[in-house]
């Protein structure tokens, strides 16, 4: 087991995409402290709390289409989707930064990433998300998962860590990486390959969770 912590040497726009590209090419995942500045993360955190207080988060569901339903035994988070019509200036900073990363990933790794979808996510105390893959059954358009953390002063005893199972063939029976919240930290991993879960959080936990998608027809690239 490995634990990722620390502020990291970079902040916001100073973070190079080169290390991310190398990580994804070699392992299929990357953890980047300081991808966004803590100042931005703290401001968005305040905005998120206001959105929560306004009642604009909805209980999350599992599945898609007619099979989509709320399953509290699997996940307990609440979400608020980001849309072009409703995105705030702080959310636009996130969107533009991820779009720049998408373009660079396409140039360097030929992933054919077409668009980004993302939502705010909140786990209340006691919340969790059981082990799962981020690509829905019988679909292939979610290619890369992207989790951005907003909470500060998080302690290991607060729980709520992302547990990423790092052996693609062994899944939940294999080794894992524990990542704890830290404002501005970004985690990327191949959506169809890596099982992961959110362990029980003992305080409210806030992220922006997104997916880089490609069109339904697969595009050949580094990962096939």
Q: Are 134 and 177 in contact (CB under 8 A)?
A: no
Give DSSP secondary structure letters for 89-113. HHHHHHHHHHHHHHHHHHHHH----
- Asked if residue 69 belongs to a domain, the reply is no
- Asked if residue 22 belongs to a domain, the reply is yes
Q: Which helix (H) or strand (E) holds 21?
A: helix 18-26
**pLDDT at position 70, please?**
87
The tally of domains found in the chain comes to 1
Q: Which of 76-80, 126-130, 140-144 has the lowest mean pLDDT?
A: 140-144
**pLDDT at position 202, please?**
98
- Asked if residue 114 belongs to a domain, the reply is yes
Torsion region of 28: left, alpha or beta (phi above 0 gives left; psi -120 to 50 gives alpha): left
Residues 162 and 65: their CA atoms lie apart, in Å, by: 27
Average pLDDT for 204-214: 97
The Cα diameter of the chain in Å comes to: 46
- Asked if residue 89 belongs to a domain, the reply is yes
- Asked if residue 220 belongs to a domain, the reply is no
Least Cα distance to 93 among 56, 143, 50, 41 occurs for 41
As a whole number of Å, the end-to-end CA separation of the chain is 28
Average pLDDT for 56-77: 87
In the structure, what pLDDT confidence band is assigned to residue 102 with cuts at 50, 70 and 90?
A: very high
**pLDDT at position 174, please?**
96
pLDDT tens for residues 37-66? 999 999 999 999 999 999 999 999 887 776
pLDDT tens for residues 8-30? 433 455 678 999 999 999 999 99
Q: Domain range spanning residue 143? A: 12-59+77-213
Residues 218 and 201: their CA atoms lie apart, in Å, by: 36
Residues 16 and 13: their CA atoms lie apart, in Å, by: 8
- Asked if residue 3 belongs to a domain, the reply is no
pLDDT tens for residues 112-124? 999 999 999 999 9
Q: Which of 26-40, 65-79, 95-109, 144-158 has the lowest mean pLDDT?
A: 65-79
Average pLDDT for 184-210: 97
Is 90 exceeded by the pLDDT of residue 222?
Answer: no
In the structure, what pLDDT confidence band is assigned to residue 69 with cuts at 50, 70 and 90?
A: confident
Residue 210 has a CB neighbour count (10 Å cut-off) of 22
**pLDDT at position 14, please?**
62
Average pLDDT for 181-207: 97
Residues 104-110: contacts with CB under 8 Å, at least 24 apart: 104/17, 104/21, 105/17, 105/20, 105/21, 105/24, 105/144, 105/212, 108/17, 108/21, 109/21, 109/24, 109/25, 109/221, 109/222, 109/223, 110/219, 110/220, 110/221, 110/222
- Asked if residue 166 belongs to a domain, the reply is yes
Domain with residue 181: its CATH number is: 2.60.120.620
- Asked if residue 130 belongs to a domain, the reply is yes
């Amino acid at each position: 087991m490995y634990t990722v912590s620390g502020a990291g040497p970079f902040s916001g726009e100073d973070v190079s995409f080169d290390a991310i590209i190398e990580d994804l090419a070699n392992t299929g995942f990357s953890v980047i402290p300081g991808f966004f500045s803590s100042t931005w993360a703290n401001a968005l955190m305040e905005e998120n709390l206001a959105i929560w207080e306004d009642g604009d988060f909805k209980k999350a569901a599992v599945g898609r289409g007619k099979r989509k339903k709320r399953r509290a035994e699997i996940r307990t988070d609440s979400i608020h989707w980001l849309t072009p019509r409703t995105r705030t200036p702080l959310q636009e900073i996130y969107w533009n930064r991820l779009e720049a990363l998408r373009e660079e990933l396409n140039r360097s790794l030929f992933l054919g990433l077409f668009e980004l979808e993302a939502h705010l996510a909140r786990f209340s105390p006691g919340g969790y998300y059981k082990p799962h893959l981020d690509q829905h059954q019988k679909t292939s358009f979610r290619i890369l998962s992207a989790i951005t953390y907003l909470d500060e002063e998080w302690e290991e005893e607060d729980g709520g860590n992302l547990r990423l199972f790092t052996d693609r063939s062994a899944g939940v029976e294999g080794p894992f990486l524990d990542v704890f919240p830290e404002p501005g930290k970004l985690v990327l991993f191949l959506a169809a390959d890596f099982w992961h879960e959110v362990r029980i959080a003992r305080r409210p936990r806030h992220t922006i969770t997104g997916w880089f998608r490609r069109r339904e027809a697969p595009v050949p690239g580094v990962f096939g």
